[in-house]
Amino acid sequence: MEKCVVVHYGEIGLKGKNRDFFERKLVENIKRITKSKAKRKFGRIEVKYVNGFEERLKKIPGIRYFGVGFKTELDLESIKEVTLQVLPDSFKTFKVSASRSNKNFSLNSMEINKEVGSFIAEKTGKKVDLGNPDVTVWIEVCEKEAYVYSTRMEGIGGLPIGTAGKVISLVSGGIDSPVASFMAMKRGCEVVMLHFFNRTLHSPQVRKKIYRLAEILSEYQGDMRLYMVPFEEIQMEIIRTVPAKLRMIIYRRSMMRMANTIAERENAKAIVTGDNLSQVASQTLENLNVIFSVSKLAVLSPLIGFDKEEIVNLAKKIGTYETSILPYEDCCSLMIAKHPETKARKEIVEEFERFEGFNLVELEKSVIGKAEITEID
């Protein structure tokens, strides 16, 4: 009998010939994040138990649920004895839920439930309740061993990080963009965070806020890289040349170009934004088309169809909300019109960007060279 965790996945099981790749990546991520031993079994992953590491497992993308219990010999009597070890100290009713991937085992699932249930009732004097039990004992009969547990925890599902490639995620200090980063992780992306700041506006507290958001998100991904790019030189040049009504659009187009440059350095395959359709002026379809058109890479906006309440609820669930609502000064909101353009035309925006003496491209190269790069562990 050995204490362990048995990990189950969902979507990975549908990957056909590519399933092996996804399973191996999930095992690799579990080892990296929990610092524990893990190995593939048919349809599941066995992890050596480390005291208190359940909270880490809950946050690893690709895990649908996991059970904390014991591995035992493929023998009914051994299984019966282990069930007594996983029962809580106090309960009134129970049920047994067995599954059998090893069809050579002498009993089928229903027979295991009956035999083990009768044993537990005899030994404890407790009653079986198949509808609403106080405790459920899960038994998984596999090819070479059986797993028994009564503690089952839900994961976040999705795909293992690294299976979809690397992305650059534009993160402000608000609620939406950290949630978008999480959603990209859940779809198998390795996220590199990119934040644009204005030294003339940003206090040390805001800088700490961005680092804290990166730390929270690294609990899901593991190691993470954060780029902090100074934006004030570009911003002052835009304010000098561009009408207030169009400044937000050109701010964001400049950020998108720089995100593409950093993506090339990082060998990233896409840009992630926290855009939510029609939430603010820059997020109308017309404006998003103009902003995204400067990107050579695909632009992913995982929150595009969410409403604000859904985003807030998810931010609370993943732990970013309390940090995101701390006060901060958004450099994109500096000196823009009270009623910004909502239906920008690409040709007009590009005309301002070509204005004589207005060389954003060279400035963008310069400020990227001044980026602060931090490795978040």
Higher pLDDT, 67 or 237: 67
Task: Report the pLDDT averaged over residues 206-223.
Answer: 93
Residue 68: partners with Cβ closer than 8 Å, 6 or more residues away: 3, 5, 49, 54, 149, 151, 152, 153
Would the pLDDT of 174 be above 70? yes
**165-376: CATH superfamily:** HUPs (3.40.50.620)
The model's confidence at residue 37, banded by pLDDT at 50, 70 and 90, is: very high
Pick the residue with more confidence: 358 or 173? Answer: 173
Q: What's the pLDDT at 202?
A: 59
- Asked whether residue 201 carries a pLDDT value surpassing 70, the answer given is no
Least confident of 89-93, 199-203, 219-223: 199-203
Q: Are strands 44-48 and 2-8 parallel, antiparallel or unpaired?
A: antiparallel
Q: Which residues contact 360 (CB under 8 A, 6 or more apart)?
A: 234, 237, 238, 250, 254, 257, 353
What pLDDT does residue 205 have? 78
Name the average pLDDT for the chain: 91
CATH code of the domain made up of 2-154: 3.30.2130.30
pLDDT at 66 over 60: yes
What is the pLDDT at residue 368? 95
Residue 311 has pLDDT above 80, yes or no: yes
Confidence class for position 150, pLDDT limits 50, 70, 90: very high
User: Confidence class of residue 300 from pLDDT cuts 50, 70 and 90?
Assistant: very high
Q: What CA–CA distances, in Å, run from 261 to 254, 270, 323, 365?
A: 11, 11, 29, 9
Residue 154 has pLDDT above 70, yes or no: yes
Note the pTM of the prediction, 2 decimals: 0.91
Q: Residue 221: what residue type?
A: Q
Q: What percent of the chain has pLDDT over 70?
A: 95
pLDDT reading at 323 higher than 90: yes
Res. 72 pLDDT band, cuts 50 70 90:
very high
Residue whose entry in the numeric block shows the structure tokens 């961005």: 210
Residue 356 predicted with pLDDT over 70: no
pLDDT band at 73 (very low <50, low <70, confident <90, very high): very high
Q: Which of 96, 93, 120 is nearest to 110 (CA)?
A: 96
Q: Which of 11, 310, 318, 7 is nearest to 164 (CA)?
A: 11
Domain parsing of the chain, residue ranges: 2-154, 165-376
Q: In the predicted model, what is the mean pLDDT of residues 168-183?
A: 96
The pLDDT tens digits of the residues spanning 122-145 come to 999 999 999 999 999 999 999 999
Matching fold, domains 2-154 and 165-376: no
Q: What is the pLDDT of residues 250-297, one digit of tens each?
A: 999 999 999 999 999 999 999 999 999 888 777 889 999 999 999 999
